[in-house]
Amino acid sequence: MLLGVNIDHVATLRNARGGVEPDVVEAAKICEENGATSITTHLREDRRHIKDEDVRTLIKTIKTKLNLEMAMADDIQKIALEIKPHSICLVPEKRQEVTTEGGLDVAGQLEKVTEFIKPLLENGIVVSLFIDPEKSQIEATSKTGAQFIEMHTGTYSNAFGTDKEEQEFQNLKNAAELAQNLGLKVNAGHGLNYENVKRMHEINGLYELNIGHSIISRAVFTGLGEAVRKMAELAK
């Protein structure tokens, strides 16, 4: 299984001060040097973390692959067609949400999704649809021309360690199998952490995981000691 690292929260921290620190380009470099096989960023319609300039710079500086998460918005599609990331992942987006809350309803808007992704596919961009692990959504995705699904693992992640875990895990396993039988490749992400990620190995043929929050959260603590030591030296 490959690992795509979502660096949106590095931009969130940077934007809290409005300056340039911490630098998302440097963050992407560190991720790549330590095993990330792609860099994921979500260019949200409200630009609350990653900005247009970030994706324009990242596409030139990263050594692996840029995976651009995006909603079905014309202005973002225009940017995607201009910078041509390796892949895009189409997600639903609500302005008030803290993070992506559910999967894209592909079944309910099959024609719209198919039309929206057409120019992206024609330009050689790999397309993935972020969907809940549901039969109807998988079957619909297989009719759109998208090559990948990204299974929303949020419900499984929330259920992890409870009596609902097994059911939610089986939903992911069955969904992956159905998608693969229909010719789709399968990624997974959302809410995965250092514990619940282990079961992803029980799902046959998973291609790539996309993980952000737990990695950036851990990095704060694994890096905080060194950061304080360095400043304490300077303050002495």
Q: Which is nearer to ligand PXP, 32 or 69 (CB)?
A: 69
The sign of the torsion formed by the CA atoms of 178, 194, 126, 152 equals: positive
d(CA 28, CA 31): 5
State the catalytic residue, choosing from 9, 49, 69, 150. 69
Q: Which amino acid, 101?
A: E
d(CA 105, CA 225): 44
Could you say whether residue 86 binds ligand PXP (CB under 6 A)? no
For residues 104 to 123, the per-residue mask of contacts with ligand PXP, x marking binding by CB under 6 A and - elsewhere, is --------------------
Among 99, 123, 162, 167, binds ligand PXP (CB under 6 A): 99
Could you say whether residue 48 binds ligand PXP (CB under 6 A)? no
Could you say whether residue 6 binds ligand PXP (CB under 6 A)? yes
Q: Is 42 a catalytic residue?
A: yes
d(CA 118, CA 95): 25
Contact 195, 217 (CB under 8 A): no
Contact 90, 72 (CB under 8 A): yes
Please, which of residues 160-189 interact with ligand PXP by CB under 6 A? 189
Which amino acids are annotated catalytic?
42, 69, 190
Binding site for ligand PXP (CB under 6 A): 6, 8, 42, 69, 89, 91, 99-100, 130, 150, 189-192, 210-214
